[in-house]
Structure 1
Amino acid sequence: MSPLRFAALGDSLTEGVGDPAGDGRWRGWAALLAAGLAPAHVPVEFHNLAVSGARTGDVLERQLPAALAFAPDVASVVVGVNDTLRHTFDLHAVAARLDTVYGALGSRGTVLLTACLPDPGALLGLPGALARPLARRQRAVNSVVHALSERHGAVHLHASQGDRVADRTLWSADRLHPAERGHRLLAAGFHALLAASGTAHGPAPGTEPDGPAPTRAAAWRWLATAGTGWVARRCTDLLPQLLALAADEVRHGLRGTGAHLDLRASAGVAAALAATPGHAAGGRPAPLRSVREQPEVAQ
């Protein structure tokens, strides 16, 4: 019997960071999902191409060719947060790259999985003036992902909503990656969508973790060790621009014109989508298969 092939593209979220496999490697939501895609008598070949720190350009240039050579039946593309954390952030480029990646996979009949994600500023608990520009960037990326998912008929998971940010049991010590329970909920959300569309025929991933939730002490240990290096790298790359964006935020707040920033961001999303190759090619969007995760999924 021919195996079902699943390729996972993206960054550290899909690589599995935060969900240790017990052998010094990461497992993650994609591996959990792979185990439930097919019944026991159908083999599943899972190829995780995701790399920590990857941006949309890395997915397009490095991961997509490997995925196309693998010829997957199902492929996930979850990426974009790292783009928002760079001073080189360019929404037009992000949209164009994702449109190309989605189109290359979808044109081969691959079932495409996508997701919207929480903004990193909220996860890290940054002060409002610093968090708002990052949140605006992530909302813009999420809007692009949602629109392009509809255009390409993707199976789309809304993972940026609800109480995800506040629920500490979902997040690892670094507050940026899901803990085991968070990864399990992502896998279960995707599985529910695929099962509803007749693509997943195996058992749904369990949502309860095998190990304990991360503690506050673990979070402080991470910040005192690996976290300091991460913060230093991001500060060097992003902080000067983020401070300028925060100053702009404060100026608009004092003038009572904060809504102008949101309008400008919305116009930027529309312009970025209009400039994508898929938009220029025309054609009707395929139906979007999506779900907004309900509270019962997290139980």
Structure 2
Amino acid sequence: MASAPPFSRFVALGDSQTEGVGDPDEHGGLRGWADRFASKLAAANPGLLYANLAIRGRRTARIRAEQLEAALALRPDLVALVAGMNDLIRPRFDQAATLADIEAMVAALTEAGARVISFTFPDIGSVAPMVRPLSGRVRAMNAEMRLLAAKYDVTLVDFEPVRTTSDPRAWADDRLHLSPLGHEIVAQAVAETLAVPGADACWRDPLPPILTQPRPLERVAAELRWVADHFVPWVGRRVRGRSSGDFVLPKRPQLTAVTPEFLGLDTAPPSTW
């Protein structure tokens, strides 16, 4: 019988994906893949403590400035670090600076004795056609993340080649955040990568085919709605120097037990698998 990985202090760093945007709970808050994964790990490690420092809209430099020291102070033995997408989608993306900040965080966390887990990014251009010109940046960033992971023995979940992760059903209406299904896929992937008992590779399985495809005019209308509802407001915030994370605090800033109520989170594989 497989034994649980010997982790007792799990801390998640990052931006909106790790905060859980796109995966609302029943109480007006957010779940997200990190909560979902924590519940899976705690089912095998009942004494698990978990903190989530991630805040939506954060770019990598601010994650390093605001979250790294707080994470180190919690003395984690497992850290999830997902950063860089909010940098990558900016017109003036500085890949070298972004990678330098990620490497500095990885180096500090591994030196402190934590196991670090991170991801490559799915191809967002296949989810949102309007941002398809960014696909090259995604591939280049992923290639650098693989090298960085090898250098520091980071556990890297390689999402780029897995088609399920770029299925539109795994993404929320804004196409920038995961849907509840997408967050569960990521949680399953992390659990399987870390050999949590009960986890398997079903997250890699393609979703069932979409039987009814939209007509060309429907696709055009959908793109125009996306521009009006999501892209224009995003540009507006950039012009005003605002962020969706302004005035947002970490949802779980201290290590706390993953309680029986928390474990009640529905983490069964989605019915579409």
TM-score norm. by structure 2 comes to 0.71
Q: 1:41 to 1:84 in 2, by over 3 A?
A: closer
Match of 1:145 in 2: 145
Contact residue 22 and residue 32 of structure 2 kept, 8 A: yes
Match of 1:117 in 2: 121
Q: Which runs of 5+ in 2 are unaligned?
A: 1-5, 204-218, 242-271
Match of 1:29 in 2: 33
Distance in 1 (CA, whole Å) between partners of 2:58 and 2:33 is: 17
What is the letter of the counterpart of residue 77 of structure 1? L
Larger Rg: 1
User: Alpha-carbon deviation of 1:46?
Assistant: 1.2
| SS of residue paired to 2:160 | coil
Match of 1:67 in 2: 71
Match of 2:96 in 1: 92
User: Alpha-carbon deviation of 1:65?
Assistant: 0.7
What is the letter of the counterpart of residue 41 of structure 2? L
Q: Say which structure, 1 or 2, has more relative contact order (CA 8 Å, 6+ apart).
A: 2
Distance in 1 (CA, whole Å) between partners of 2:73 and 2:222 is: 40
State percent identity of aligned pairs.
36
Bigger fraction of residues in helix: 1
Q: Tell me, yes or no, if structure 1 residue 190 matches structure 2 residue 216.
A: no
Contact residue 188 and residue 204 of structure 1 kept, 8 A: yes
Q: Which runs of 5+ in 1 are unaligned?
A: 208-215, 238-297
Q: Tell me, yes or no, if structure 1 residue 46 matches structure 2 residue 56.
A: no
User: Alpha-carbon deviation of 1:228?
Assistant: 3.3
Distance in 2 (CA, whole Å) between partners of 1:98 and 1:63 is: 12
Q: 1:89 to 1:43 in 2, by over 3 A?
A: same
User: Alpha-carbon deviation of 1:234?
Assistant: 5.4
Distance in 2 (CA, whole Å) between partners of 1:227 and 1:92 is: 26
| SS of residue paired to 2:13 | strand
Match of 2:86 in 1: 82
Which piece of structure 1 moves more, 35-44 or 183-192? 35-44
Aligned length: 224
The CA deviation string for residues 243-277 of structure 1, in whole angstroms up to 9 with x for no partner, is xxxxxxxxxxxxxxxxxxxxxxxxxxxxxxxxxxx
Contact residue 123 and residue 165 of structure 1 kept, 8 A: no
The CA deviation string for residues 3-49 of structure 1, in whole angstroms up to 9 with x for no partner, is 81111111111111111112111111111111122445632211111
Match of 1:172 in 2: 172
Contact residue 18 and residue 32 of structure 2 kept, 8 A: yes
Q: 1:164 to 1:111 in 2, by over 3 A?
A: same
**Alignment partner of 2:10 out of 6, 28, 34:** 6
What is the letter of the counterpart of residue 170 of structure 1? A
Q: 1:218 to 1:180 in 2, by over 3 A?
A: farther
Contact residue 174 and residue 223 of structure 1 kept, 8 A: no
| SS of residue paired to 1:6 | strand
TM-score norm. by structure 1 comes to 0.66
CA RMSD in angstroms, aligned pairs only: 3.2
User: Alpha-carbon deviation of 1:220?
Assistant: 7.8
